[in-house]
Chain A
Amino acid sequence: MSRVLVPCHVKSTVALQVGDMRTSQGRPGVLVVDVTFPNVAPFELQEIMFKNYYTAFLSIRVRQQTPLHTPSKWVTCLRDYCLMPDPHSEEGAQEYVSLFKHQMLCDMTRVLELRLILRQPSPLWLSFTVEELQIYQQGPKSPSLTFPKWLSHPVSNEQPVPRLEGLPDPSRVSSEVQQMWALTEMIRASHSSTRIGRFDVDGCYDLNLLSYT
């Protein structure tokens, strides 16, 4: 399930507001962000990732390449996805979010353009948007990683464990875990090692002042 970043161009946000924007009071509650993919052939979208900034609800429309000469239409692939359970409070306001193709209402093949419709009904926030937007398509199959053998090859003469309610199928979990393992290894590798965990250097711990940085 590896993925490849698709270079995209995010246009500046357009606010949707009734009436004359200059004279009317109040802030817009709906913003539209268009995302185009210049110099990229129509692709199958795998994942959309971004950092939220006080957007409460997200809808996404997609324009796909249609066969022959039929004109392409805009189709809603995500409707009112909730990012903030309570639009008036901080919960979910600055979270990192990933949306996958299986969460979309239509298939995401041959994508030409995306349109993100951001909604924030609460008047309490001065601004809202989504940041660090990244679009991914399916990458080549991942090379096999070294992981413990018992994870992917359970002993065949084992009695099948009765499937407990609400838990995923164990054989499926073990195949998913190998990908998750790769993810966690990635996380560990990318973390800067801020943990020095020592209070002396070669037995010496003469300290004068604390550092501000």
Chain B
Amino acid sequence: MLQEESDLSLVIAQIVQKLKGSNLYAQLERQAWACLQRPEIRLESLKEDIKEFFKISGWEKKLQNAVYSELNVYPLPSHPSAPPEHLKEPLVYMRKAQGSWEKRILKSLNSMCTELSIPLARKRPVGEQKELLNKWNEMGTDEPDLSLFRPVYAPKDFLEVLINLRNPNYENGDSLSFRTHLGLIQVPLKVKDIPELKECFVELGLTTGQLGIDDSTQVPPELFENEHVRIGQKVLVQQDSAAAQQYIRQGSPTALRAELWALILNISSQPEDVKLTASNDDYYFVFEDYLYQVLLCFSRDTSVLGHFAYNSASPPKSYIRGKLGLEEYAVFYPPNGVIPFHGFSMYVAPLCFLYHEPYKLYQIFREMYVRFFFRLHSISSHPSGIVSLCLLFETLLQTYLPQLFYHLREIGAQPLRISFKWMVRAFSGYLATDQLLLLWDRILGYNSLEILAVLAAAVFAFRAVNLMEVTSLAAAEAVLADLSTLKVMPLLQIFLFATVT
């Protein structure tokens, strides 16, 4: 049909435009020039021969991976008349809510600076710079005095904002209707129900092998695990991003995980010009140092600003001392535009188990942030945004565990108050590390955060019997305080595929 074809042409044009400015394009050009020397390249069939060369040498695969990456990360081109704000967030009331929330954070940061009489940013004196360079690999052991600093905000402050989110064009009256939602989120976003989730997460079904279930000690490895590892190695040899993303839906073997994630996130193997000294001290391994290094560099990495094109949030602005309002003196603060909150480092910590070279660790974290984690702390209508995840969690509970939901609500323990902190941190710090990595495998495999909401509901389903007996929010919190013994894949599988509805 004419319309679909011209839509596809538009997508192609936009991707070509994006890739033209990339490193890969320069490399491809260089390769094309260099291969002219080769004997198999003939002038009569120049174009075909170069294409054939690219295919054989693996450059075509790299291009395919780059295109696939663009399709995954960037939203489809919107209507030509849609302004840039519309691409960030199509619903006007959500944009406004995000704007107000940002203002609150800025006010809080400004008042803290004024109270403590410290500037937001200033150049380090030369002595301090030298000291920092010397101490670069041991920063965790020499913290500055942070006792007077409060965290800019905590997840529960953010939850209050989401609870008060309202669509002005929606029937928000008190009278019960067929759509009354008994949870905390009161905006009518579209969320999937279990039949739709089953279709979406079909590879997690009972008849498909999973790492996290079918690799347990009782199961002979010939049944699934050996073959799965063999396929994983093949995928890595092929260097195909799309195949890796499909493969990882059944989980990644521990030995292959670092490489598979790098392939899926399309991280190049060349170290970028990041201001990190590659520390090859394998024997001394303190994550604290890595966290400091990574987050310090992250906050100064201006390439992160690119993701604000599709993030509903906007980077805060400031003006060089004294020049308020003059655009030539406007800068972004922090340089990457992201103001961290209490617990932000938990996004990085699990990655430290996978990557030992700082530059690789940093690139993986940055890519994970601009693809997934930013959605967990900005207000948007995206299906993987935190608002949709909260609504999905509450709807699953209300629909499939109505007795439990009603009981918890009656005792003043709205389930979202307990599960919110899990979802905002993508369960980091709550699950055992090996379980967390199996969960994050699926986030990469399905290119969606919805699995976090499904897992949260599955956890409540698992502890339903105990929860039915509690009589207060504190008691409910106590039942759900320790998730470190949970096995995520069986929980997900049972909740989606084995619960009688």
Chain A residues packing against B (C-beta within 8 Å): 49, 51, 53-54, 85-86, 88-91, 93-98, 100, 102-103, 123-127, 132, 155, 157-159, 167-168, 172-173, 176-177, 180-181, 183-184, 186-187, 191-192, 194-201, 203-213
Contact = CB atoms under 8 A, between A and B. Distances in A.
B156 interface: no
B302 interface: yes
B230 to A, nearest CB: 30
Nearest to A206: B321
Return the 10 tightest CB-CB contacts between A and B, nearest first. Answer: A199-B335, A96-B79, A89-B190, A207-B120, A168-B5, A176-B9, A206-B321, A180-B13, A207-B121, A210-B106
Given A54-B169, A90-B381, A180-B6, A205 B113 contact: no
Given A90-B188, A96-B81, A206 B123 contact: yes
Given A126-B170, A184-B14, A198 B332 contact: yes
A198 B328 CA distance: 11
Contacts of B110: 209-210
Given A85-B190, A199-B121, A213-B317, 9 more contacts: A51-B81, A89-B188, A157-B44, A180-B9, A180-B13, A199-B335, A207-B318, A210-B120, A210-B318
A197 B119 contact: no
A123 B243 CA distance: 45
A204 B320 CA distance: 8
> Which one of B13, B77, B123, B330 has the highest number of Cβ atoms from chain A below 10 Å of its Cβ?
B13
B464 to A, nearest CB: 28
A211 B188 contact: no
Contact of A89 (B107, B177, B189): B189
Interface of B: 2-3, 5-6, 8-10, 12-14, 17, 44, 47-48, 77-82, 84, 86, 90-92, 103, 106-107, 109-110, 113-114, 119-123, 167-171, 177, 179, 187-190, 300, 302, 305-306, 308, 316-321, 324, 328-335, 381
Contacts of A191: 84
Given A206-B119, A206-B121, A197 B14 contact: no
21 contacts: A88-B179, A90-B190, A94-B92, A96-B79, A100-B3, A124-B171, A124-B179, A125-B171, A126-B170, A155-B47, A157-B44, A158-B48, A173-B8, A198-B331, A199-B121, A199-B302, A203-B123, A207-B121, A208-B120, A208-B318, A212-B106
B333 A204 contact: no
Given A180-B9, A210-B110, A199 B300 contact: yes
A205 B121 contact: yes
Given A124-B188, A210-B120, A176 B6 contact: yes
A3 to B, nearest CB: 11
B9 A212 contact: no
A206 B17 CA distance: 37
A132 B86 CA distance: 15
Contact of B305 (A94, A195, A211): A195
Contact of A97 (B79, B305, B316, B321): B79
Contact of A102 (B2, B120, B317): B2
Contacts of A103: 3
A96 B86 contact: yes
Contacts of B14: 184
A210 B333 contact: yes
Nearest to A199: B335
B91 A94 contact: yes
A106 to B, nearest CB: 17
A91 B79 CA distance: 15
A197 B305 contact: yes
Nearest to B391: A89
A180 B10 contact: yes
Nearest to B187: A90
Contacts of A96: 78-79, 81-82, 86
A89 B300 CA distance: 39
B109 A210 contact: yes
Contacts of B109: 210
Contacts of A155: 47
A120 B384 CA distance: 27
Contacts of A49: 79, 81
> Which one of B79, B110, B188 has the highest number of Cβ atoms from chain A below 10 Å of its Cβ?
B188
A192 B84 CA distance: 9
